[in-house]
């Protein structure tokens, strides 16, 4: 990816100053900014005018550059975000533009090759993990070329190892630089196998689930030479295996598919047909010819100033992700979606005799596993009309008396429960292949208990409970915001917010439990706890249900 190593400070400075000259029209600003990036002193006439403060440093140059573009960017970004809703508006770079941006990042903006390579390789690894689970696509072969694209592949292999994959690396033309030697050492310390070209089978389908094409980047020119010409042909042949419906590993190309023209794409139509393309910085023009199911953008290192200077229209990265899908996800045959669960067996002799204790044990496992909102549960109710209704609520307490949640008593679930005080709740912990289903009768918790919980909530949540007449029609979101703002001002003095009478808790008293553990071939474990009387006491009987 990072094809351009800075040849001199002057080259970078000249490029940036030229770009800035095109961006700003004020003569004094243009002159001053150009001088900043040339790291030279301004003419004496400017000093005498009092317009400039004296000798100029590189940090000052960077601040001036970013400050100027940031002010422009504040006006431009909202319109760019609106245009991002259309995938066709995403920017595609020419080879020259890609090289210039690299040069800018590694010049006045202070990025090193090592930093960019680390971010690029991590982006590739996270893109792979986004689509291909290690339980299904575990064996990864990273074919790395001698340049920076190969370095991205080495970094990706290291991250994939830590993500739970089993990577192999083919690195036939090693670059004798400290950076690359370090990456090799890191992989060797993890016992990642390095394969020679001779070690790689002609038919890659038998030994690998994913092949990472990290051979050539956008700076490559001419025809591939040995041994990469043969390796590329092996990747090309995988498309033939796919067409003949044989099992074939998926191909993930880094930045551009190796052998493609960076702007014209797969000239002749006989090149690699990757299943996934991970564009870096911004897609290159050849990516318009990519027709595989998965196109991701990775990197997340382009500063707003650079994006604005090049008028780059790029999608926003979700949350903390290092990758973002470009365009629409592939059309999926819903009937073909299936997961073959791999879990430890759930055996009668291993579970707790009390289902509440067993629930606590599984709930603690979900918390320890770091699953998001392990207390989320689907609550199903029916009113007197017999029509079921389900929604997700949050568990706020569990003890020997049952499961507690809080809500608006006037909501649909509240109305249902007033007509039919029975419900079921369902917990689903995807990361552990587990479900817990509980059925029982429902009653309101005491006013004291509701009051205590209400005042333990953040002030914003307390106000929100008052504002929202849950399940009723409202004229728009502005209506909520206006009422919220009024109450926020009313209680800004820190006074106690009274709990509304229409808000409080419910407790489901369990009458039936089912613990479900996903297993291979749909032979799931289902253990049911049902109550019965024994010697005048209520005990729980454990039965196994067919999956």
Binding residues for K(+): 149, 213, 258
Please tell me the distance from the alpha carbon of residue 312 to that of residue 315, in angstroms, as a whole number: 10
| φ, ψ dihedrals at 485, nearest 5° | -60, -40
Beta bridge partners of residue 408, listed in sequence order: 503
User: Of 436, 465, 277, which Cα lies nearest the Cα of 361?
Assistant: 436
| φ, ψ dihedrals at 170, nearest 5° | -110, 115
Residue from 41, 96, 522, 544 carrying the catalytic annotation: 522
Annotate 62-111 with DSSP letters as a single string.
Answer: HHHHHHHHHHHHHHHHHHHHHHTTSGGGS--B-HHHHHHHHHHHTTTT--
Q: Which two tokens stand for residue 40?
A: 């030279």
Beta bridge partners of residue 435, listed in sequence order: 428, 516
CA–CA distances in Å: residue 107 to residues 61, 293, 372, 500? 12, 36, 41, 60
Residue 391 annotated to the active site: no
HEC-encoded secondary structure of 12-48: HHHHHHHHHHHHCCCHHHHHHHHHHHCCCCCCHHHHH
Query: Three-state DSSP class for 510?
Result: strand
Sign of CA dihedral 497, 499, 503, 507: positive
C-alpha angle 506-511-512 in degrees, rounded to nearest 5: 115
User: Of 230, 1, 255, 247, which Cα lies nearest the Cα of 139?
Assistant: 247
Known binding-site positions for (6S)-NADPHX: 148-152, 217-223, 255
User: Of 442, 370, 455, which Cα lies nearest the Cα of 405?
Assistant: 442
Is residue 216 within 8 Å of residue 3, measured between CB atoms? no
Please tell me the distance from the alpha carbon of residue 58 to that of residue 38, in angstroms, as a whole number: 9
Known binding-site positions: 148-152, 213, 217-223, 255, 258
From start to end of 197-320, where are the E strands?
210-214, 250-254, 276-280, 294-298
Beta bridge partners of residue 279, listed in sequence order: 297
Is residue 65 within 8 Å of residue 305, measured between CB atoms? yes
Angle between helices 58-83 and 27-37 (to 10 degrees): 120
Beta bridge partners of residue 167, listed in sequence order: 140
User: Of 245, 166, 249, which Cα lies nearest the Cα of 211?
Assistant: 249
Query: Three-state DSSP class for 413?
Result: helix
Pairing between β-strand 323-325 and β-strand 434-444 as defined by DSSP bridges: unpaired
Which residues belong to the active site?
Answer: 522
């Amino acid at each position: 990816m990072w094809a351009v190593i800075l040849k001199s400070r002057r080259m970078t400075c000249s490029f940036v100053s030229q770009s800035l000259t095109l961006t700003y029209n004020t003569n004094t600003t243009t002159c001053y900014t150009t001088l900043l990036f040339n790291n030279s002193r301004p003419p004496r006439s400017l000093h005498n005018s009092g317009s400039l403060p004296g000798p100029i440093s590189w940090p000052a140059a960077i601040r001036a550059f970013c400050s100027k573009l940031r002010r422009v960017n504040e006006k431009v970004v909202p319109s760019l975000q609106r245009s991002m809703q259309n995938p066709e508006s995403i920017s595609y770079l020419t080879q020259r533009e890609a090289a210039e941006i690299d040069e800018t990042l590694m010049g006045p903006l202070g990025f090193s090759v090592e930093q960019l390579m680390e971010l690029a390789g991590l982006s590739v690894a996270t893109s792979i993990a986004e689509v291909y689970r290690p339980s299904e696509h575990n064996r990864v072969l990273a074919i790395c070329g001698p340049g920076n694209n190969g370095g991205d592949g080495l970094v990706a292999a290291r991250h994939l190892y830590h993500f739970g994959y089993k990577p192999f690396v083919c690195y036939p033309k090693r670059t004798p630089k400290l950076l690359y030697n370090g990456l090799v050492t890191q992989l060797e310390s993890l016992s990642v196998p390095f394969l020679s070209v001779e070690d790689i089978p002609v038919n890659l389908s038998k030994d690998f689930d994913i092949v990472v094409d990290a051979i050539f980047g956008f700076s490559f020119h001419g025809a591939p030479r040995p041994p990469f010409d043969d390796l590329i042909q092996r990747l090309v042949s995988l498309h033939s295996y796919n067409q003949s419906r044989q099992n074939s590993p998926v191909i993930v190309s880094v930045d551009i598919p190796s052998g493609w023209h960076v702007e014209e794409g797969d000239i002749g139509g006989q090149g690699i047909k990757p299943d996934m393309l991970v564009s870096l910085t911004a897609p290159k023009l050849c990516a318009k010819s990519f027709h595989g199911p998965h196109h991701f953008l990775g990197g997340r290192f382009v500063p707003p100033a650079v994006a604005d200077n090049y008028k780059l229209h790029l999608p926003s990265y979700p949350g903390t992700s290092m990758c973002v899908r470009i365009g629409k996800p592939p059309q999926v045959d819903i009937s073909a979606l299936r997961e073959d669960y791999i879990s430890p067996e759930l055996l009668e002799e291993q579970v707790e005799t009390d289902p509440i204790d067993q629930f606590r044990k599984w709930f603690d496992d979900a918390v320890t596993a770091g699953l998001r909102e392990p207390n989320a549960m689907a609550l199903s109710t029916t009113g007197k009309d017999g029509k079921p209704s389900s929604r997700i609520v949050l568990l706020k307490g569990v003890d020997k008396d049952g499961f507690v949640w809080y809500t608006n008593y006037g909501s649909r679930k509240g109305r249902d429960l007033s007509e039919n005080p029975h419900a079921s709740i369902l917990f689903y912990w995807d990361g552990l292949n587990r479900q817990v289903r509980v059925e029982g009768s429902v009653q309101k918790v005491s006013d004291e208990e509701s009051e205590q919980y209400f005042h333990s909530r953040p002030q914003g949540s307390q106000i929100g409970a008052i504002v929202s007449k849950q399940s009723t029609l409202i004229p728009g979101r502005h209506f909520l915001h206006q009422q919220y703002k009024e109450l926020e001002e009313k209680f800004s003095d820190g006074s106690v917010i009274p709990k509304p009478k229409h808000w409080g808790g419910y407790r489901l008293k369990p009458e039936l439990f089912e613990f479900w553990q996903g297993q291979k071939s749909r032979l799931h474990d289902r253990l049911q706890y049902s109550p019965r009387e024994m010697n005048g006491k209520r005990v729980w009987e454990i039965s196994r249900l067919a999956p």
